[in-house]
Amino acid sequence: MAHPISAFQAAYISIEVLIALVSVPGNILVIWAVKMNQALRDATFCFIVSLAVADVAVGALVIPLAIIINIGPQTEFYSCLMVACPVLILTESSILALLAIAVDRYLRVKIPVRYKSVVTPRRAAVAIACCWIVSFLVGLTPMFGWNNLNKMRRTQGLNASRTDFVITCQFETVISMEYMVYFNFFVWVLPPLLLMLLIYLEVFNLIRKQLNKKVSSSSSDPQKYYGKELKIAKSLALVLFLFALSWLPLHVLNCITLFCPSCETPHILTYIAIFLTHGNSAMNPIVYAFRIKKFRTAFLQIWNQYFCCKSAKNAAA
Give tens-digit pLDDT for 76-98: 999 999 999 999 999 999 999 99
Mean pLDDT of the chain: 89
Pairwise CA distance, residues 23 & 100, whole Å: 22
Query: Is 2's pLDDT higher than 80?
Result: no
Q: Which residues 6+ apart lie within 8 Å of 55 measured at CB?
A: 23, 26, 27, 94, 280, 281, 282, 284
Nearest to 127 by CA among 108, 100, 106, 109: 100
Residue type for position 77:
F
Q: Can you give the residue ranges of every domain in the chain?
A: 7-302
List, for residues 223-244, the tens digit of each pLDDT value. 788 888 999 999 999 999 999 9
Q: How far is CA 57 from the centre of its chain?
A: 10
Q: Which residues 6+ apart lie within 8 Å of 63 measured at CB?
A: 16, 17, 19, 20, 23, 278
Q: What pLDDT score does 317 carry?
A: 43
Pairwise CA distance, residues 104 & 106, whole Å: 5
Q: What pLDDT score does 164 carry?
A: 64
Query: Is 177's pLDDT higher than 90?
Result: yes
Instruction: Between 164 and 61, name the one with better pLDDT.
Output: 61
Nearest to 231 by CA among 219, 221, 220, 223: 223
Tell me if residue 187 falls in helix, strand or coil: helix
Q: What pLDDT score does 169 carry?
A: 93
Instruction: Classify each residue of 67-79 as buried b or exposed e, where b means 16 or more C-beta atoms within 10 Å of its C-beta.
Output: bebbbbbebebee
Topology of domain 7-302, CATH: Rhopdopsin 7-helix transmembrane proteins (1.20.1070)
Tell me if residue 131 falls in helix, strand or coil: helix
Q: What pLDDT score does 211 carry?
A: 86
Element (H, E) at 3: none
The pLDDT confidence band at residue 217, using thresholds 50, 70 and 90, is: very low
The pLDDT confidence band at residue 216, using thresholds 50, 70 and 90, is: very low
